[in-house]
Structure 1
Amino acid sequence: MVKQNFILFMLIGELSKKSGVSRDTIRYYEKMGLLRVSANRRDNNYKEYADNAPDVLKMIAIGKNLGFKLIETKEFLEFWEQNDTDNERLTEMVLKKIEEIDTKIKALTVFKQNLENALIKCEP
């Protein structure tokens, strides 16, 4: 890790090792705007990632596990990075996700009932 202006930076290999996320995935998240790199590059043109990058990758993983799309996770990260947890948009986003989950639960319940009915018809 290199210290510049009181912020620690690491290369992609170190970030991958610390986070358990592949280099390709890190590059993809960077391309999608979920993960930022330092504006300055080393003399060898290597990208540097801020010391909070492992935390950002954890938040992305949490978002994925909760069923958030990457674009939704990106919005959430913007709130998180700004410590903006008392925001109408964030509340709206979470409520929308809850509504989507409720819709999925209803659809899965109907599907389960259909399967159970089909199973009953299959019994001798």
Structure 2
Amino acid sequence: MSGIPPKSVGLGGDGDEICAIESVERAFGVKLDKADASKWHTAGDVFASLRQALPNEVRDHDLWPRFTEVLTEQTGVAPEAIEMASPLLSQSRLWVHVTNASAAAWISAAMVVLGLLGWALL
């Protein structure tokens, strides 16, 4: 073991994880048990739920490569870099700051437009 943490799946926790799970369900023709969702922290956690949802005769097939390919469609992370212990959510929280800054900019712009519109109507 190298001591280097596994590469993250790269999901942002901003709804893209829902799309990724739905993609897995579509690709494998199953519905995952959403009661397990609070326990899904790694790719391996979701993979275990997928295996549970599959018929017995399919569970032992080499599903991992296809699973990681579908799971990373949203993120652009190389599927071969994903391990069972790979966290679902991105290790970098930079996206949170980008999202917050973007929201603040749009709110500010809307306030300016509404202010100008109100001023023009007076």
TM-score, length-scaled by structure 1: 0.36
Q: Specify which structure has the higher proportion of strand.
A: 1
